Amino acid sequence: MSKKIYLDYQATTPVDPKILEKMIPYFTENFGNPHSNNHQFGRSANSAVENARENVANLINAEPSEIVFTSGATESNNLAIKSIARYHLGKDCQIITCKTEHKCVLESCHELETDGFKVTYLDVDEDGLINLEELENLLKQKKALVSIMHANNEIGVLQPIKEIGELCKKYNSIFHSDVAQSIGTQTIDVSDLNIDALSISAHKIYGPKGIGALFVSNSIKNTLRPLMSGGGQEMGLRSGTQSPALCVGLGEACKDLVENIEKYTNHFEEIKSTLLSNLDNSNLDYVINGNIKQRIPNNLNIAIKGKVAEQLFNFMPHIALSSGSACTSGTIERSHVLSAMKLDDERIDGSFRISAGRNTSKEEIKELVKSLNNE
């Protein structure tokens, strides 16, 4: 039986053993409720949560008071988009997003449309990139909430968020970005990028599932309201008892990136080079989806001419790949991302995502290409 090979790290990553080791005590002996401040158990748990908050803030050059713990990027995106639109800007504003955004962003915007908000969904070109001139023309008309992800979860393309942030600042608009897919390889500085709100998820960066964070600038935070009613935890924006263990997991994952992001990125570049070299030397008639240069290094989304991705997977059960984002892989509808790029149906059906991890080896990449060739 062939060795199992996991190449779906954009869907999720394993918890780093070093991070898990730091988490375990908060499941067992340090199990206090972080909101119980009248005894040492609670104070110890609270200290761990606040230390984790500092670690998240340090990664993106924010203040700890600007970090709200959530259940993940999906909740962070919902909280940012709905709360900023409804309570900070109001219905006189416009909402601008992109047709290739994650489903949770698109669905949040659809919900706001039913509430009477005007939403514009920007087109992308064949490389998966928005048109900055089109964005600026919209911003000239009315103050906006702009929500554009940094790296696309399917094709890995990096949107020009620095330029987007500059335009939003120029036209007195609010900029939110989902950076869940880019934070593991790209340096993010919310001040330099003029980002007002930002979403991340722990399980994309070798932390645990069930925890994420929303950065929201102090300049707008006090005008926002929570999605859920309750005890008013997380500065009144996210009620419910925090899990110190999960917070520690996210905090340690962020701390690790501060120390090692360059090492990880260099590894991904080497793996990508090996992958492209082996594909070029194979008999496969393939094409890359999305801009080849403006993308995260751990992603390659390709289509093989004359092949259907799901059928390829059946012949390679030992290799984990994705033909779409994991959040929608249970459906049979074609990728909304590739459709927005106006690719033809045959190319979309033949497309799949290869996403490498920190432990992906060159031998695994060679086995992938060999298996594709032998299908």
Q: Which residues are catalytically annotated?
A: 327
Cα–Cα–Cα angle for 328, 334, 339, nearest 5°?
115
Q: What are φ and ψ of residue 205, in 5° steps? A: -125, 35
Q: Which residues contact 75 (CB under 8 A, 6 or more apart)?
A: 212, 214, 227, 238
HSE, CB side, 13 Å, CA atoms: give it for residue 324: 22
DSSP characters over 58-111: HHHT--GGGEEEESSHHHHHHHHHHHIIIIII-TTSEEEEETTS-HHHHHHHHH
Identity of the amino acid at 367 = E
Helix ranges (DSSP H) in the chain: 17-23, 40-60, 73-83, 103-114, 132-141, 161-170, 218-221, 244-280, 309-315, 336-340, 345-349, 362-374
Residue at token pair 């090979």: 5
